[in-house]
Amino acid sequence: MTNLASLLSETAATHPDRTAIVLGETRLSYDQLNQYADLVASLLASRGVGPGDKVALTCPNLPYFTIAYYGILKAGATVVPLNVLLKGREIAYHLADSEAKAYFCFEGTPDLPMGQEGHAGYQATEGCEHFFVITAEMGAASPIEGAETMVGAMAGASAGFVAPEIATDSGAVILYTSGTTGQPKGAELTHGNMLSNALTSDRLFGADVEHPDTYLCALPLFHSFGQTVIQNSAIAYGGTIVMLPRFDAAAALQLMAKEEITFFAGVPTMYWGLLGVLDDSGVDVKALADRLRVAVSGGAALPVEVHREFERRFGVTIMEGYGLSETSPVASFSVFGEPVRVGSIGPAIPGVEMKLISPEPGHWDEVPAGEIGEIAIKGPNVMKGYYNRPEATAEAIQDDWFRSGDLARVDDDGWYYIVDRSKDLIIRGGYNVYPREIEEVLLTHPDVSLAAVIGVPHDSHGEEIKAVVIRNAGATVTEDELLAWGKEQMAAYKYPRIIEFRDSLPMTATGKILKREL
């Protein structure tokens, strides 16, 4: 198996009648999904798009995403999934930077006009030759003047497409990393990278073709976490993907009950959201909990309090993992069936190695045992490199080791504990302060629902510590009271001197708190 798309072809051949995707009342079997993907591949081939070409895709969690994704791969081209929130100017940057030859774009909604923004980006990009608008209704006319629809174009494609042979080290996906500095870079992942990661699901989560899971797909599919852990893993092991186009905690609980979800993956803010609406949801929590076999969390550190509360309510221990777009994404994971080590992202997954190196740029020496260092990763999941950026690739990868930018410690058993992003580290008066640690303490206060800790410029200390806090409903604690409480709980150089209450925190489309906006 060299092409990531063979996951779909093989499951469709062995289990054609199984349900592959559920969206509302729509149900697609593996046979149908595979046929639609073949038509997309045939369409691309008829337009001269094939091995080595790049095809961009803007689409929320809808069956069209998976159809287009696997169709692009079958054609031998590379998928470039784009964040659905991008504006025209940003889309033009991504299309040009990835050298996309074709672009599939969902029409969107009045609130989020993806089609208009996408078409504007396409028109501003000379090298992109084909634009297909994905309409919400299967046979609808094009909402964009002069643009053909994906379904309309597929209708003219010939069936029975034969996929070209693709080398394992050919590009499969280019994932853009939201760089905190400079323009986003495209991490080029090969078919081998993506396959190796999807196929560890049997060892990580006990995935089994004979006893397939039903996955709630709440994580955006344009992001590596949802793509590998939900979409590609489900298809590899013949599971069912229940799509939720936009995460809403109450809607997610209803779907979990209705579709008998056995596998949930989310970022910490999603778990926080589920717990917040559980009592008023009207769903039978015991029935939900009895069916839920696996709960996994990644994307950011899971607060200890959320861990404990979820286990208490659902009887399921959330397994925390860790990875990056550059590592396909999974690099480490808690061990299934073993007691959780709260705050740990687990050991490296099978076939992958991890170590801690000096966080100093350009230094690759391992740190002494017991010290905090920057995580470095080596294995079949590590990207080919940043697309068309040899200098950035050379900075990030040396002797097949990829440096992550995340600081961690490791215990005697090889379980890793993230301390913080190296760039989130606050240096106050010469002391290193890790925001994650302070956030964990603040969350133990009965009136605190969510907290984000950042460093703000300070004349004498260099940086001062600020906490932006969402209070629980009905909470009465004042900013001064919380500050005084923090002073009692933490060392003098650590406790936040500035506290600001807010009703919400800025988040990315994937549910990560955007600290740079705070």
CATH classification of 6-10+30-166 is 3.40.50.2000, yes or no?
no
Are the C-beta atoms of residues 140 and 29 closer than 8 Å to each other?
no
| Tokens standing for residue 261 | 């979800």
**Using the 8-state DSSP alphabet, how is residue 248 labeled?**
-
- Specify the DSSP element, H or E, that contains 57: strand 54-58
Domain with CATH 3.40.50.12780 in the chain: 190-352+380-406
pLDDT tens, residue order, the chain (518 aa): 789 999 999 999 999 999 999 999 999 999 999 999 999 999 999 999 999 999 999 999 999 999 999 999 999 999 999 989 888 988 999 999 999 999 999 999 999 999 999 999 999 999 999 999 999 998 899 999 999 999 999 998 988 888 899 999 999 999 998 544 457 899 999 999 999 999 999 999 999 999 999 999 999 999 999 999 999 999 999 999 999 999 999 999 999 999 999 999 998 889 989 999 999 999 999 999 999 999 999 877 788 888 999 999 998 999 999 999 999 999 999 999 888 888 899 999 999 999 999 988 889 999 999 999 999 999 999 999 999 999 999 999 999 999 998 999 999 999 999 886 667 778 786 666 778 778 888 998 999 999 999 988 887 677 899 999 999 999 999 999 999 999 888 777 788 999 999 999 988 777 778 887 88
Task: Give the span between the Cα atoms of 203 and 337, in whole angstroms.
Answer: 11
Length of the chain: 518
Query: What is the per-residue pLDDT for 431?
Result: 65
Residue 472: CA atoms inside 13 Å, Cβ hemisphere, count?
15
Query: What is the per-residue pLDDT for 181?
Result: 47
Domain with CATH 3.30.300.30 in the chain: 426-501
- Domain 426-501 carries which CATH code? 3.30.300.30
Task: Give the span between the Cα atoms of 183 and 125, in whole angstroms.
Answer: 17
Task: Give the span between the Cα atoms of 1 and 414, in whole angstroms.
Answer: 31
Are the C-beta atoms of residues 420 and 444 closer than 8 Å to each other?
no
| Tokens standing for residue 134 | 């994905």
Domain with CATH 3.40.50.980 in the chain: 6-10+30-166
What are the percentages of helix, strand and coil residues in the chain, rounded to 5?
Answer: 30, 25, 40
Q: Say if pTM beats, i.e. exceeds, 0.75.
A: yes
Secondary structure (H, E, C), 126-145: CCCCEEEEECCCCCCCCCCC
Which of the four CATH numbers 3.20.20.80, 3.30.530.50, 3.40.50.12780, 3.40.50.410 does domain 190-352+380-406 have?
3.40.50.12780
- Specify the DSSP element, H or E, that contains 373: strand 373-378
CA-to-CA separations, 485 to 22, 146, 267, 428, 478, in angstroms, rounded: 48, 62, 28, 20, 11
Query: What is the per-residue pLDDT for 489?
Result: 82
CA-to-CA separations, 310 to 272, 274, 276, 295, 313, in angstroms, rounded: 9, 9, 11, 10, 5
